[in-house]
Structure 1
Amino acid sequence: MTQHAVLDHQAHRDLRVRVEPGEALGDAVMSCVTVPIEFRQVQAHFPILFHRNAESGAFHAVALFGFEAGENLFLESGRWDALYRPLALSIQPFLIGRSADGEGPAQVHIDMAHPRTGDETGVRLFDDDGAMSPYLEDVADRLGKLDAGYRASEAFFAAMRRLDLLEPFTLEVELNDGAKRSLVGFHILNEDKVRALDGETLGNLHVEGHLMPMFMALASLSHLTDLVARKNRRHG
C-alpha cells in the first residue's frame, strides 16, 4: 500500500530517508523500469529487455536483476554489486506527480508508506532553514531525467513498432545443479531485422535519437550469461 504526499519543506522538515541498498528497503526486485536515455549506463551491467502491456499493447524497458520474482542478484549482503543503479530504483521513495490533465509544473512526491521513509537513521531531506539537502537535490535531478526519459520513450517505442523490430523472447536457464528456470513474457530487438535496415532508415533513426539506445539494448544481452553465473553462485 502506498501513501503519496507532495514533498513540503515545512511538513517534512525533519523527515529522513534511508539511502543504502537493502532487501527490506525495496531493492528485492527481479527488474526495474529503465528508459532509453540511460541505456548506455544500464547496458554496462544489466540485460535490457522489453515488456508489453497485455491490455494497452504499450511497451516499456526493464533492467533485469534476476530470474524470479523478488530475486535481485546484485544485492550482496546489503551492498549493491554494480557501479550503476537504474534511475527508477535509485529515486525511491520519491516520484514525479502531475495534475490529472498533465498541465502545470511537476511536483516531487514521496511515498510515506515506503520502507525507506521515516527512519531516524536516514538522511535528512531539508536543513534547519528548510533548504534542500544535497541528497534531495540529487534526487530531484534524477527525477527530472527519469521524467524526461519516460516522455521521450514513447517516440522510441513507436519507431520500434513501426519497423517491427521487437520479438518475443524466452530463455531457459539450466543451473549447475540441474535446476531449471524459465524467463518468459519479455521481448528483445530482432538483431537480424536491425542488420537488414537500409541506410536511409538507419539515418532517420540516428537523427531521431533512437539508434544508440537500440545498439545499447542489443549489447546488453551479453549480460544474460553473467546473470546466469551470478545465479549459480547464489544458488550454490
Structure 2
Amino acid sequence: MSQHAVLDNNTHRDLRVRIEPNADLGDAIMSCVTVPAEFRQVQAHFPILFHKNQANGAFNAIALFGFENGENLFLEGGKWDALYRPLALSIQPFLIGRSADGDGPGQVHIDMDHARTGDANGVRLFDEGGQATPYLEDIASRLGLLDAGYRASEAFFAALRQHELLEPLTLEIELDDGAKRSLVGFHIIDEERLRALDAATLGELHEAGYLMPIFMALASLSHITELVARKNRREAHG
C-alpha cells in the first residue's frame, strides 16, 4: 500500500529518508521506467526495452536490471554497481502530484508507507529552519526532469508507432550452468525499418529530437550480453 502526502516543511520538518541502495528499500526489481530524455545516460549501463500496456496499447520504456521478477543484478553487497541510477529509481520515495485534471504546477509528494521513509538513520529533508536540504533540492530537480520526460514521451512513442519502429523481442539465454532464461513481452527498435526510412522522415524525427533517443535505445542492447555475464557471476557465487 502507498500513502501519498504533499511534502510540507512543517509537518515533515524532522522526517528522514534512507537513500542507500538496498533490496529491502525497494531496489529488488528487474526493471524500472525510463524516459527518452535520459536514454543517453541509461544506455551507458543498461539495456533499454519497450513495454506495451495491453489494456490501452500505450508504450513505455524500461531500463533492464535482471531477467526475473525481483532480480536486480546491479545490487552488489548493498552497493549500486553502475555509475548511473535511472531517475524513476533514484527519486524514491518521492513523486510528483497534480490536481485531478492534471493542470497546474506539480507538487512534491512523499509515500509515507515506503520502506525508505521515516527511518531515524536516514537523511533529513529540511534543516532546523525549515529550509530544504541539498538532498531535497536535488530530488526536486530530478522529479522535474522525470515529470518533463514523461510528458514529452507521449509524442515520442506516437512517432515510433506511426513509423512502425517497434518490433517484439523474444530472447532466449543459456547460462553457464545450463539453465535457460527467457525475455518475452518486450519490444525493441526495429533497426531494419529504421534503415529503410527516407531522408525526409529521418529529418522529421531528427527535428523533433527523436532520432538520438532511438539510436541510444539501439546502442543499449549491447548490454544484454553484459547482463548475462552478471547473471552468471551471481549464480556462480550463490
Cα distance in 1 between the residues matched to 2:105 and 2:176:
52
TM-superposed CA distance for 1:195, in Å, is 0.9
Q: C-alpha deviations, 1:10-34, integer Å up to 9, x for none?
A: 0000000000000001000000000
TM-score (norm 2): 0.99
Q: C-alpha deviations, 1:153-209, integer Å up to 9, x for none?
A: 001000000000101101111000100111110000101111111111111000001
Match of 2:120 in 1: 120
Match of 2:150 in 1: 150
Instruction: Give structure 2 stretches of 5+ with no counterpart.
Output: none
TM-superposed CA distance for 1:105, in Å, is 1.4
Match of 1:188 in 2: 188
Match of 1:100 in 2: 100
TM-superposed CA distance for 1:103, in Å, is 1.5
Instruction: Give structure 1 stretches of 5+ with no counterpart.
Output: none
Match of 1:47 in 2: 47
Match of 1:217 in 2: 217
SS at the partner of 1:214? helix
Match of 2:63 in 1: 63
Amino acid in the other structure paired with 2:46: F
Cα distance in 1 between the residues matched to 2:218 and 2:178:
28
Cα distance in 2 between the residues matched to 1:216 and 1:25:
29
What fraction of aligned residue pairs are identical, expressed as a percent? 76
Match of 1:91 in 2: 91
Q: CA RMSD in A?
A: 0.4
TM-score (norm 1): 0.99
Cα distance in 1 between the residues matched to 2:64 and 2:202:
27
Match of 2:29 in 1: 29
Cα distance in 1 between the residues matched to 2:163 and 2:104:
34
Cα distance in 1 between the residues matched to 2:186 and 2:166:
10
Q: C-alpha deviations, 1:34-93, integer Å up to 9, x for none?
A: 000000000000000000000000000000000000000000010000000000000000
Cα distance in 1 between the residues matched to 2:198 and 2:38:
26
Cα distance in 2 between the residues matched to 1:73 and 1:103:
38
The runs of 4+ residues in structure 1 deviating greater than 2 Å are none
Aligned length in residues = 236
Cα distance in 2 between the residues matched to 1:35 and 1:170:
22
Match of 2:134 in 1: 134
